């Protein structure tokens, strides 16, 4: 049947077909992005308007002084992340990143559990000036000062 088509028509059919698929891909992508992108929260936002329990989000802030505790299993740590206003308890099971220390910035990928604890799957710590989680750059200027002032 296609063999009967004139070349011009065949080109048209191909173009239309490709467009349909590509537009379909774009729509799927937008749909997927709306559903699957994980939003970034600072502790105040997380407390003010908490995300659905179990939905993947990122939490960024400063690790509070004196808050890091290792649980008896030896591989789970709990700590508080704050932004100078409020703090959120976080639980993480795994090997913590090298520069994960109290008073430094951290971004946690994870979800809010039903008990109000943020359960992290991965932690990103501020490495050095050349590499730090992007979200923390904005924070360190404005909010880190407040955090430091508070802990002093």
Partner 1 sequence: MIAEAGLALLWFAAALAVLQLFTSLMTLRGGDGSGEMGGIVRPAAIMQGPLVALSFAMLMWLFIRTDLSVLLVAANSHSAKPFIFKVAGTWGNHEGSMLLWVTVMALSGSFLALVERRLPERTMIATLAAQAFVSLGFYAFLLFSSNPFERLLTPVAEGNGLNPLLQDIGLAFHPPTLYVGYVGLSVAFSFAVGALITREVGPAFARAMRPWVLGSWIFLTIGITAGSYWAYYELGWGGWWFWDPVENASLMPWLAATALLHSASVLASRDALRTWTIMLGVVAFSMSMVGTFLVRSGILTSVHAFAVDPERGTFILALLTIYIGGALALFGARASTVSEGKRFSIVSREAGLVVNNVALTAILGIVLLGTLYPLLTEAFDTKVSVGPPYFNPVGAIFAFPMFVALAIGPLLRWRSDRFGRIGKRLILPAVVTVIVLGGALMFAPDIHILPLLGLGMAIGLGIASLVPLFGRNLLRTPLPTYGMVLGHFGLAVALFGMASESAFSTEKLVAANVGDRVDVGPWSIELTSMEPVAGPNWTALEATMTARYEDGSPVMLHPQSRTFTQPQQTTSESALSTRWNGQLYAVVGEEGADGRWQLRLWWKPFVPLVWLGGLLIALGGVLALIGRVAGDVRRGLQRRRIAMRRESKPLAAATTGPAE
Q: What angle do CA 45, 47, 48 make, to 5 degrees?
A: 60
Q: Which of residues 54-73 bind partner 1 (CB under 8 A)?
A: 56, 58, 70, 73
What the block records as the tokens of 111 is 């979800």
Shortest reach from residue 3's CB to partner 1, in Å: 5
For residue 79, the tally of other CB atoms under 10 A from its CB is 24
- Quick check: 49 binds partner 1 (CB under 8 A)? no
Q: What one-character-per-residue DSSP string does 43-94 give?
A: HHHHHHSPPPTT--EEEEEEEPTT--EE-TTSSEEEEEEE-SS-EEEEEEES
16, 37, 113, 142: which one binds partner 1 (CB under 8 A): 37
- Quick check: 38 binds partner 1 (CB under 8 A)? yes
Residues lying near partner 1 in the complex (CB under 8 A): 1-3, 5, 7-8, 10-11, 14, 17-18, 21-22, 24-26, 28-30, 32-33, 35-40, 56, 58, 70, 73-75, 93-96, 98-99, 109, 122, 127-128, 130-135, 137
């Amino acid at each position: 049947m296609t063999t009967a088509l004139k070349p011009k028509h065949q080109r048209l059919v191909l173009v239309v077909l490709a467009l349909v698929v590509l537009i379909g891909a774009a729509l799927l992508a937008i749909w997927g992005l709306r559903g699957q992108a994980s939003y970034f929260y600072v502790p105040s936002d997380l407390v003010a308007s908490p995300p659905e329990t179990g939905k993947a989000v990122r939490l960024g802030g400063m690790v509070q002084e004196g808050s890091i505790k290792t649980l008896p299993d030896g591989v789970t740590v709990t700590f508080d992340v704050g932004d100078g206003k409020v703090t959120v308890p976080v639980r993480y099971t795994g090997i913590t990143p090298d520069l994960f220390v109290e008073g430094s910035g951290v971004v946690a990928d994870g979800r809010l559990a039903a008990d109000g604890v943020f359960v992290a799957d991965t932690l990103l710590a501020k490495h050095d000036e050349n590499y730090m989680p992007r979200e923390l750059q904005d924070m360190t200027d404005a909010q880190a000062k407040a955090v430091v002032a508070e802990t002093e």
